[in-house]
Chain A
Amino acid sequence: DVKVTQSSRYLVKRTGEKVFLECVQDMDHENMFWYRQDPGLGLRLIYFSYDVKMKEKGDIPEGYSVSREKKERFSLILESASTNQTSMYLCASSSIGTADEQFFGPGTRLTVL
C-alpha cells in the first residue's frame, strides 16, 4: 500500500523558532510537494521538487525553504516561525509519466504562538 508519512500530526511552536516538517514517501516517486491548507483558501503550493536536490517555488514560498537530500524525503523549513504560518501543512508525491495523481500525507497542523 502506497504511503506518504509526515513526522507530526500536531505541532505547537513559538514565534521566532525554527521549524522542520518532514515528509517521507515509499513509492520511489520523483516529484514531491508541500502545500498549506487554510479555511476558505483551499490548498496553496509552497514548494515542489522534481528530483533530489532540485526545488521550485510554488505560489507562496515566502517565509519557507525546503530540502531534498534523498529521493524519499522532502523537508519544509520555517526559518523563523510567525503566527501567520499557523496552518495545516500537507505533503504529496507523484510519479513522472502517470496521470499526475498526487498521493497525500495526513497533514501536520502547526500552531505558532
Chain B
Amino acid sequence: GEDVEQSLFLSVREGDSSVINCTYTDSSSTYLYWYKQEPGAGLQLLTYIFSNMDMKQDQRLTVLLNKKDKHLSLRIADTQTGDSAIYFCAESNQAGTALIFGKGTTLSVSS
C-alpha cells in the first residue's frame, strides 16, 4: 500500500545545514509536500514540488526529488533555532482524495 517513511529525529547546530530525508511509494503522486509543525500548533505547508521537477529552491529551502528512487529531501541552509519543529513529508494517495503523511522528523537546533 501507500507509505511515506522518514527518520524520526535530527539534531544540528545553529548555522549548519539540515537535511531531512523521505521515501515514498506512490509514483503517481502529482505533488510532494513538506509541512512544518511548530510546538503547540497545527501543520503549515512549507513547500511543495511538482513531480516532474528535480529541484526547487525557495530562499533557505531546497527540495530535491529523485523519482527513480522515490526519494525526497528537504535542505535548510543556515539553520536557526526558530527552525526547530516537526517536519512532515506527504504525498497524495492513489485516488487523489487525501494526503499520506510520514511520521514526522523532529528537528532540534542547538545554539
A residues near B (Cβ < 8 Å) are: 4, 31, 33, 35, 40-43, 45, 48, 50, 56, 58, 90, 92, 99-107
Contact = CB atoms under 8 A, between A and B. Distances in A.
A105 B40 CA distance: 11
B41 A106 contact: yes
Contact of B101 (A31, A43, A105): A43
A104 B103 contact: no
B101 A100 contact: no
Contact of A43 (B30, B45, B48, B88): B88
A92 B90 CA distance: 14
B28 interface: no
A101 B42 CA distance: 14
Interface in B7-35: 8, 30-31, 33
Contacts of A99: 30-31, 48
DSSP majority for the A interface?
A: strand
Interface string B70-111: 000000000000000000100010001111011110000000
A33 B98 contact: yes
Contacts of A45: 98
B23 to A, nearest CB: 14
B97 A101 contact: no
A90 B43 CA distance: 9
26 contacts: A4-B42, A31-B97, A35-B101, A40-B8, A41-B103, A42-B104, A45-B98, A48-B98, A50-B97, A92-B43, A100-B30, A100-B31, A100-B33, A100-B92, A100-B99, A101-B45, A102-B43, A102-B45, A102-B99, A104-B42, A104-B43, A104-B44, A105-B42, A106-B40, A106-B41, A107-B42
